[in-house]
Amino acid sequence: MFVGHFTEWPWQDPVQGYKGFGLGLTNEKYNPQTGSHLYNRFLDEKLYAEEAGFDGLMLNEHHNTAFCMQGVTNVAATILTRQTRKAKIVILGNILPIWEDPLWLAEQLAMLDMISHGRMVTGWVRGGGTESLSHNAQPTYNRERFQEAHDFIVKTWTTPGPFRWEGKHFQFRYVNPWCMPLQKPHPQMWIPGVASPETVKWCAEHRYPHVMLATLLEPTKEMFQLYDTHAAELGYKAGPQHHAYLFKVHPDETEELAEQAGRRYLEGVDNPFIAGSQGQERALAAFQQLPGISTRATLDALRKTVGRVAETGIAASTIATVFSPYEEQIKNYSIIAGTPKTVMPRIKHVLETLRPGSVFFWDGDGNMSHEDQTRSIRLHGQEVIPATKELGKAMGLLSSFESNDGTGISPEVWAKVKKDQTAKA
């Protein structure tokens, strides 16, 4: 089993509280001195997470928002590739539709993979409406640009150059980057999401691990089953190595400290993924669900599978998780907070229900302090991670790094690798 650490890197200011997120909050309120402190604090916490024993450090990005300070996730990844030694650098992920030059992205990531000695995990996302708006990317071409950029990067990393690329959205006369990934045939590719059947099926077609992001257990289980069913239709058996799950887990020294810190998940700047029912301003539907971001088929499937799509455009499986009071989130496993002794039975329930080969513990978010996070990371390392790995071993929950079956590698590329290996043998 693979156990990773995640934090959104939220904006925190002890003087002012901020309402709203996405494009609705002016950067006039931004204080670079506070930002400087927070960036260095969050990087220090990532280094401590590796020291404590986390297998991976998950990074993400959002744009024009205070709830996630990583507008360019590759910057943090660059720093961590050099300052860490063991943990995987899991980028979930680069927003492909907003990149005008995917060749530049392929070069960046190849450099990161080499500097990290092959510890990079590549992640691709389509991004939300706010990303398309802030980067002037046509939402109607969102999925097309995502798929073409993905195909281009895979070819760039696996096909000797020079070659020419003439696509619908990207054209390159001369593709022949000198920097290439250390991992062969290419780094594993993981795809995060909340409840899109189209994305789940696309992951199954490419045998990429799909990471469900803090969704309720039953809808998450349904998406994993959809993956497995589609994989069987494609002629292979999917397993835990194809499934990953992000959920909020905060162990602490006492139940009282755990509750105090756990409630801070719901405090701080307005976050569409973790905010509570505080009457805070929500993103407008026009921002989140731009025409073309999701197909009608996907929206219909979401309504049928998980209930409805809320006014923010986020799947109802997530809305039920994030806009509920703390007590309800504790009850439905959206937040797990307590001493190591009391969180482990709840983690066990999640593992038994979903059977993921990889998990990410989402911690240190909202309005949690540095002290809240360092106490938690220490207890994760001392007790929670070892116990979680023991449970995973007993349940046979192998990660994609343990399965050795080409998970995370494009099927066509993996078939070529196996053919070459057979020929050499």
Summarize pLDDT for 374-412 with one digit per residue, the tens: 999 999 999 999 999 999 999 999 999 999 899 999 999
Q: Return all residues near 331 (Cβ < 8 A) that are at least 6 apart.
A: none
Q: DSSP labels for 327-350?
A: HHHHHTTSEEEE-HHHHHHHHHHH
CA-based nearest residue to 209, from 183, 231, 180: 231
The SS3 call for residue 164 is strand
123, 153 Cβ separation under 8 angstroms: no
Distance CA 267, CA 42 (A): 18
Tens-digit pLDDT profile for the chain (425 aa)?
A: 999 999 999 988 864 555 555 566 778 878 999 999 999 999 999 999 999 999 999 999 988 888 889 989 999 999 999 999 999 999 999 999 999 999 999 999 999 999 999 999 999 999 877 777 777 778 889 999 999 999 999 999 999 999 999 999 999 999 999 999 999 999 999 999 987 899 999 999 999 999 999 999 999 999 999 999 999 999 999 999 999 999 999 999 999 999 999 999 988 776 666 544 343 444 445 566 667 777 666 666 555 444 443 333 444 444 445 567 899 999 999 999 999 999 999 999 999 999 999 999 999 999 999 999 999 999 999 999 999 999 999 999 999 999 989 999 999 999 999 888 888 87
Q: DSSP labels for 200-251?
A: HHHHHHHT--EEEES--HHHHHHHHHHHHHHHHHHT----GGGEEEEEEEEE
- Structural domains in the chain? 2-424 (3.20.20.30)
Amino acid of residue 333: Y
Query: Residue 25: which region, alpha, beta or left (left: phi > 0; alpha: psi -120 to 50)?
Result: beta
399, 357 Cβ separation under 8 angstroms: yes
- Inter-helix orientation angle 142-158/411-424, to 10°: 10
